[in-house]
Amino acid sequence: MVVAVTEGIQVSVEVTYQAEFSSPLQHHYVFTYKVTIENKSQQTVQLLRRKWHISDAAENLKLVEGDGVVGQQPVLEPGESHTYVSGCNLKSGLGKMKGTYLMEKLFDGKKFEVIVPEFQMIASIFQN
């Protein structure tokens, strides 16, 4: 698990290789990642947008941007958390992702970016 904290918002990510949905002979590797966003600040915040940078060992680079996460724009009161699971397909069994969430403090409307820490995606066929 990797963890980063920005302005009191903690983001942690756990990755799982989905061997049953992958086909290495066809260069198709499926990963899921579970993200937990915890509001450790004193302000109520809302997640507005996401931006992901995805790359793999086959030198494929992808930028993914959009509103919210998995169709939601969660509001987090101080002490609350939001967890979701999403997925990624790669053409290589080795890759990485990193990104940012655009958040807004509901008290004053201030927008700020929260770092999503870089995490590795490694197919089990490459692990010891």
pLDDT in tens, 6-61: 999 999 999 999 999 999 999 999 999 999 999 999 999 999 999 999 999 878 88
Assign residue 57 the CATH number of its domain. 2.60.40.1470
* Local structure of 126: helix, strand or coil: helix
Tell me the C-alpha to C-alpha distance, in Å, between residue 112 and each of 9, 43, 48: 11, 13, 10
Q: Where are the alpha helices (DSSP H) in the chain?
A: none
Count of C-beta atoms within a 10 Å radius of residue 63: 9
Contact present, 96 and 116 (Cβ < 8 Å):
no
In this prediction, residue 124 has a pLDDT band, given cuts at 50, 70 and 90, of confident
pTM above 0.85, yes or no: yes
User: Amino acid identity, residue 102?
Assistant: L
Phi, psi of 9 (to 5 degrees): -105, 115
Amino acid making up residue 123: A
Range of the domain at 35: 2-126
What is the number of domains present in the chain?
1
Q: What tokens appear for 54 in the block?
A: 């995805």
* C-alpha 112 chain-centroid distance: 17
What integer pLDDT is reported at residue 127 of this predicted model?
A: 56
Q: What's residue 58's pLDDT?
A: 79
